[in-house]
Amino acid sequence: MSSLVRMRLLPSAQCLYTQPVRVLVDGLRSSQVVTMKARATDDKGVPFHASAVYRADAGGAVDLGREPSLGGSYTGVEPMGLLWSLRADALHTKFHKTDSRRPHVVRFSVHDGEAGAGPLLAEATNERRLLADGVERQPIKEGNIRGVLFVPPGEGPFPAVMDLYIYGDGLSERRASLLANCGLMVLTLALYGHDDQSKKVTKLHLDYFEEAIQLLRKHPKAMDSGVGLISISKSGDLALSIATHLPNVKATVSINCCCSNVAIPLFYRGSQICSPLMYDVSKVTVTKSGALNVKHSLHDPLAPENEGSLIPIERATGRFLFVAAEDDLNWDSCLFADQMTERLRRQGKDNFEKVVYPVAGHYLEPPFGPYCPSSFHGVVGAPVAWGGEPKAHAKAEMHLWNKIQEFFRTHLVPEAGAAKARL
């Protein structure tokens, strides 16, 4: 390692997961070509890596926020490119960062030459924390509820949100903890209400989520303005059903979801309230990577025979933020978002917003995590392509993260409590 070359991470080598970091290298020769590398390991012990080729400026410096990458995992000026372009060696591998107590540790290095095999010139480690100072992490095992509650520092009261994550991923703390860093009190929920999350689920019961809402609302630091919901994919249609059939839901973020109850029958107080919309396997295609494209495999939710699966969202009293990615290959999220907004308009409703991301894929998550092109799908039982172009997908995640906070701030925080919420 050269004693003349220095790598710096600004403003600090330690930061929160959603905070950008400026990567600077100086002490190089004028116009020297170098390879920047990033390495990280997820919560399952799977290694991820990325690299990009840069040419130093006349003063022998490389600033990832100013100089363009000439090749490697991405090209162009991408200040956070080494983070969102991290990939595992094995195909169909999703980055798992679910435990909020463990930071996302990324090791940056700079090497001489464009092949990446040249001598190590400098290195630095970026520790990206999921929990801000003072945020409390409280495991919940009360009644039927299994989850983790994140409470911001201070006396409150705080707007309360329930985080429902995608079917098959179990309990994930990442999004919930990061939202708590922004001043929200967030309960991330194990969706199925039992300790053995590996059991095959044949029914879903709204009673479980009703119990969770009651638990969240009775917390002494919760605002009494109602709760919010945030969800993606299968948990998205579940959130729509919760907002439709249960009281006290004021704001629902539904990311890349269907307008019908998908795959699993939904019950409430012992009776089935929604039949499942199922798949037509004959419409599944195979991508070049070997992953399945299931975008058009769902049956038509508007067909008369599927009427029992449609979620009557016009009955909901809260607000909706429908998020759709045009290149979602899991299902036709844009079509479903259009169907939902049209249904609400026909009923004279204006309690919704819609945001569409043109070249993004299915897994829209908090920003600066590795982009996932495909991974194993629990319902399908095989690797599925999620779609999206990595660079556009990363930009969509940055925009959406701010949009989510703005949505909850607007619809969950009474004007008098806005200062206390510190969003």
Active-site residue (options: 235, 328, 332, 377):
328
Buried/exposed 200-214: b ≥16 CB within 10 Å, e otherwise:
ebeebbbebbbbbbe
Active-site residue (options: 92, 111, 362, 411):
362
In this structure, what token pair is assigned to residue 80?
Answer: 């956070």
Nearest to 316 by CA among 338, 276, 349, 269: 349
Return the axis-axis angle of helices 206-217 and 234-245, rounded to nearest 10°.
Answer: 70
Please say if 233 is a catalytic residue. Answer: yes
Nearest to 334 by CA among 348, 350, 355, 349: 355
Give strand pairing partners of 375.
384
Active-site residue (options: 73, 100, 233, 309):
233
The DSSP code for 76 is B
Token pair 């590996």 in the structure block, residue: 198
Give strand pairing partners of 36.
52, 110
Please say if 362 is a catalytic residue. Answer: yes
**DSSP line for 239-274:** HHHHHHHSSSEEEEEEES--SB-BSS-EEETTEEEE
Pairing of strands 204-205, 266-268: parallel
Contacts of 324 (CB under 8 A, 6+ apart): 256, 333, 334, 336, 337, 354, 355, 356, 357
Cα distance between residue 264 and residue 256, in whole Å: 18
Radius of gyration of the chain (CA): 22
Token pair 């019961």 in the structure block, residue: 205
Torsion angle of the four alpha carbons 400, 164, 101, 48, in this order, in degrees rounded to the nearest 10: -60
Assess contact for 114 and 144: CB atoms under 8 A.
no
Residues classed as catalytic: 233, 328, 362
